[in-house]
Amino acid sequence: MPHLLHLDSSADLTGSRSRAITAAFAETWAGRGADHTVTYRDLHTDPLPRLSTPALHWAPRLRTATETAPAEDEALQQTILDELLAADVLLVGAPMYNYSLPSTLKTWIDYVHVPGVTTTIDETPSQPLAGRPAVVVTSAGGSYVEGSPTAGWDHLTPVLRIVLGTALGMKVTVLATELTLASRLPALADQVRHSEDLFAAVQLEATAIANNL
């Protein structure tokens, strides 16, 4: 059964573009038939506690003698890992907050980027998610494209590409919507049309991908 893990992290529960795009994706996915199942986790409304100890960053076999973790924290991490490992496709809603990730999404990354479990660090191959698709929907108030004055300020997309793609070995597709603050900030007023066109185009792209994965 093709299974989707759908994560959202925007703090905006009404006007979020990343939420709208991931919802369109998930709806299309589920619409393909009863065998296309979905697990949904809202990292904003149901936030994970931050990692209690660095021991959780390592596979148990790679921990030092003094690195131990409380059993309930191990159990929570295993739940989060099991959710990801059960997914044939990962869908992540990732708004830009302070040029970076929302802390809620960063915490989820802290739980799943585990050397020796989800990423290979020694002679034991440990990349069970290698080759699986990860669709990352980013949403930024400004613009960070090549040639813009703030090109290079995007510390959201590169982190997700490195962790999900390079470390976990997933096949990452980034669907980026930007200039979402154009209708709010007078300085961006001339970008409103472009922002709305981009939003519509990314929604269409998301549904096309959801139909084809």
Ligand X SMILES: Cc1cc2nc3c(=O)[nH]c(=O)nc-3n(C[C@H](O)[C@H](O)[C@H](O)COP(=O)(O)O)c2cc1C
Nearer to ligand X by Cβ, of 119 and 177: the residue is 177
The CB-of-196 to ligand X minimum distance in angstroms stands at: 12
Residue 196, both tokens: 């709305």
Extended beta strands in the chain, E state: 3-8, 37-42, 89-95, 133-139, 171-177
Q: Which range binds ligand X by CB under 6 A, 53-61, 81-89, 96-104, 124-132?
A: 96-104
- Regarding 47 and contact with ligand X (CB under 6 A), the answer is no
* Residue in 168, 97, 178, 92 with CA at minimum distance from that of residue 136: 92
- DSSP class per residue in 78-105: HHHHHHHHT-SEEEEEEE-BTTB--HHH
14 makes contact with ligand X (CB under 6 A): no
Stretch that binds ligand X, among 6-14, 32-40, 81-89, 162-170 (CB under 6 A): 6-14
Count of H helices and E strands in the chain?
Answer: 5, 5
Which C-beta is closer to ligand X: that of 98 or that of 212?
A: 98
Q: Does 142 bind ligand X (CB under 6 A)?
A: yes
Contact residues: ligand X, CB under 6 A: 10-12, 16-19, 95-99, 139-142, 180-181
